[in-house]
């Protein structure tokens, strides 16, 4: 039970640290589904494309492959401009196979 409380407190602390106090009332989080379109193992970068063909990248190639479905939690950074949105969390969510989308 104590371990669960410590883990929960750690998760809460991470979310508190991620929120910029100046924009705390204006920041919105939203889910986004993307497909991995390129994995650069040399720079440890994964590049994904969303349904609007916006490109997003994050570090940590690990087991990522082209065609993987990537679910993300995004922050709008307190603005209406998607170009300054930030990736908060990334999760593997399957593979499209050879056909792509």
Pick the CATH number of 26-95 from 1.10.4160, 3.40.50, 1.10.3470, 2.40.50: 2.40.50
Q: What is the mean predicted confidence (pLDDT) over 90-101?
A: 77
Residues with Cβ within 8 Å of 31's Cβ and at least 6 positions away in sequence, in order, are: 71, 72, 73, 74
Q: Is 51 helix (H, G, I), strand (E, B) or coil?
A: coil
The residue behind tokens 């401009």 is: 81
Domain boundaries, the chain: 26-95
Q: What is the pLDDT of residues 37-86, one digit of tens each?
A: 999 999 999 999 999 999 999 999 989 999 999 999 999 999 999 999 99
The residue behind tokens 């920041």 is: 27
């Amino acid at each position: 039970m104590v371990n669960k409380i410590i883990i929960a407190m750690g998760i809460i602390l991470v979310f508190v640290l991620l929120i910029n106090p100046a924009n705390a009332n204006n920041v919105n989080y939203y889910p986004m589904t993307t497909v991995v379109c390129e994995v650069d193992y040399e720079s440890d970068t994964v590049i994904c494309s969303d349904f609007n063909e916006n490109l997003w990248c994050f570090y940590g190639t690990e087991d990522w492959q082209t065609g993987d479905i990537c679910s993300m939690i995004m922050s709008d950074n307190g603005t209406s401009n998607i170009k300054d949105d930030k990736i908060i969390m990334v999760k593997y969510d399957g593979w499209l196979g050879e056909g792509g989308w």
